[in-house]
Amino acid sequence: MDNPTIGFIGYGNMAQAIAQGLVDAGVVRGHQVVACAAHYDKLEKNAATLGVRPLHSAVEVAVAADVVIIAIKPYQIDSVIKPLAHELAKPGKFVVSIAAGWDLKKYQDLFATEDGESVNSPDIHIQCTIPNTPMAVGKGVLVTESANTLSDAETQTFEELFGAISLIERVDTAHMNIAMVIAGCAPAFTDMYIEALGDAGVQYGLQRATAYRLAAKMVEGVGALYMATGTHPGAMKDAVCSPGGTTIKGVAKLEKDGFRGSVIDAVDAIVG
């Protein structure tokens, strides 16, 4: 699909992060993106940053876009998206959902009629995903449901669009939720870690901005090192810990304080 128009139904923080990443990566230009949102005045202001075209309704987005990104709250999907079924089923369109908790089967059920037959179900092409905010700078993760109804050509377009700004990690439907927590929620945990390292740096005299830069680049680098080598994180940790050295003292303290257990507990609090 050459020069597709990208349409966002909903233009909140996550949608804006995706749009920012796509435009900055040169995958699309601002005028190739359309969006609608509940508050048009706010939408106009947010859209102007990238040259995105603001539209007044989900119907207008569905008509204008080749790739329709569902970026509204999960509880809004039934009322907003179901009426668009016939428009979404038109040739040359496919849907990318970024709504937590919505998988392919749930969308197929949404579009089903009372007699159990789907509304043009063979023609509504859907890929469910969960993104994270680092997509704004081309360093994201897009958790992607293995089950989908995209054609080969649509899959290629999907990967060309989102592969430029994220790691596309395909998982089965049963594991979408836990993958979402690790990739989509854990950035908040990591932000807290960076902030804590910044506080420690300030405590010992570093300027806060310097401490944050050091911590943030360190996190980025550790991730890049793993992605480049595939080395077990435990082995990477061991490589930094000299016998009787300074780093192992900090590692031992984190173990005593239950650092790893606290991280797992945080994940349990979301999943459970």
- The answer to whether 6 is annotated as binding is no
- The answer to whether 11 is annotated as binding is yes
* Tokens matching residue 207: 């300027």
Is 110 within 8 Å of 78 (Cβ atoms)? yes
Q: How many CA atoms lie within 13 A of 131 on its CB side?
A: 28
Beta-bridge partner residues of 112: 118
Is 169 within 8 Å of 227 (Cβ atoms)? no
CA quadruple 95, 96, 99, 105: dihedral sign: positive
Question: Phi/psi at 10 (nearest 5 deg)?
Answer: 105, 130
- The answer to whether 71 is annotated as binding is yes
Is 10 within 8 Å of 84 (Cβ atoms)? no
- The answer to whether 40 is annotated as binding is no
The stretches of 82-140 forming alpha helices (DSSP H) are: 85-88, 104-110
- The answer to whether 182 is annotated as binding is no
Helices 208-229 and 186-203, packing angle to 10 deg: 130
Say how far residue 12 (Cα) sits from the centre of its chain: 13
- The answer to whether 72 is annotated as binding is yes
Whole-angstrom distance, CA of residue 17 vs CA of residue 143: 15
- The answer to whether 45 is annotated as binding is no
Number of residues in the chain:
272
Whole-angstrom distance, CA of residue 58 vs CA of residue 95: 13
- The answer to whether 14 is annotated as binding is yes
Whole-angstrom distance, CA of residue 90 vs CA of residue 106: 20
Measuring CA to CA, how many Å separate 199 from each of 10, 82, 242, 250, 255? Answer: 36, 48, 25, 16, 20
- The answer to whether 47 is annotated as binding is no
Binding residues for NADP(+) are 9-14, 71-74
Q: What are the binding residues?
A: 9-14, 71-74
